Structure 1
Amino acid sequence: MARYFDGFVVPVPGDKLGEYKKMARLASKVWREHGALEYVEAVADDVKPGKRTSFPQSVKLKDGEVVVFAYITYPSRKSRDAVLKKVMADPRLKMDPKSMPFDGKRMFWGGFKSLIGA
């Protein structure tokens, strides 16, 4: 059975990376408790601006920020939809957008069907 994935890219101020990591650990726990198979967040290590597009350009990266790339794995799209509904209703993840340790306006995300592998 092919799996389903949510992916997202977000700019995080370097001085808020610790706070972001704490939030991500909680999010990982919540997503997996509600049925996600895997929750992964990774911070950019070897990403450079491109001539036309790149991870830094995709989020309009500012000085002092880093790019975080993440994905969440589910058994299926149907499972993802059910998990996401539960996650969005979970009070542990309620946050004031003004106090989040990243700029949600420059974050992008989407759902993906498996092409090869999983």
Structure 2
Amino acid sequence: MIYSGFETILDTGGGSFGYVDGFVAAVPNANRHAYLDHAKEAADAFKRLGATRLVENWGVDVADGMVTDFKKAVAAKDDETVVFSWVEWPDKATRDAGMSAMQDDPAFRDMQMPFDGSRMIFGGFTPILDTDQQKEA
């Protein structure tokens, strides 16, 4: 298990969801504001393509692990902070269509990232417990 603490720096709203994409990246400390601007721009693109919510979190208590940790996962440097983010979608079909459309969207494709995207890790997940909805999947 990897456990860390993060400060929410952007939350575009909530609602029920059936699929979530999770992201972890290392962002240079000097690029915090540029990252937040980038995240807001990306959130607009995700929501335009069907996402219901995007949440961005800045690491404030990211411990060094004995075997692995968030920093090692993204090869974070001493002058970088780990961010943990997720995008909520109504379902996987909407996510797949949205991500496919995003690949063809020049606004997203040409977006400058204020971090090294080659060290970002990400994955798609189906929720198995949502306490806001008081249900298990």
**How does the TM-score come out when normalised to structure 1?**
0.90
Q: CA deviation at 1:2?
A: 6.3
How many Å separate the matches in 1 of 2:107 and 2:44? 10
Moved more, 21-30 or 1-10: 1-10
| 8 Å Cα contact 2:50/2:98 also seen in 1 | yes
Q: What is the letter of the counterpart of residue 115 of structure 1? A: I
Deviation for aligned residue 1:18: 1.3
CA RMSD of aligned residues (A): 1.7
* Matched length: 116
- As a proportion of its length, which structure holds more helix? 1
Percent of aligned positions that are identical: 36
In structure 2, list runs of 5 or more residues that go unmatched.
1-15
Contact kept, 8 Å, 1:11 with 1:67, in 2: the verdict is yes
Aligned to 1:73: 88
Q: What is aligned with 1:105? A: 118
Moved >4 Å (runs of 4+): none
Query: Is the CA contact (8 Å cut-off) linking 1:2 and 1:113 kept in structure 2?
Result: no
Q: How do 1:28-107 and structure 2 match up within 5 A? A: 28-95=43-110, 100-107=113-120
Q: Bigger relative contact order, structure 1 or 2, given CA contacts below 8 A and separation 6+?
A: 1
Q: TM-score, normalized by length of structure 2? A: 0.78
- The one-letter amino acid of 2:116's match is D
Gaps of at least 5 residues in structure 1 are none
- What secondary structure sits across from 1:39 in the alignment? strand
Which string of whole-angstrom CA distances, capped at 9 and with x for unpartnered residues, describes residues 54-81 of structure 1?
Answer: 1111111101100011100111111110
Q: Contact 2:21–2:122 (CA<8 Å) still a contact in 1?
A: yes
State how far apart, in whole Å, the 2-side matches of 1:22 and 1:89 are.
22
Q: State the secondary structure of the residue aligned to 1:60.
A: coil
Give the match's secondary structure for 2:60. coil
Take 1:89 and 1:70, find their aligned partners in 2: how far apart are those partners? 22
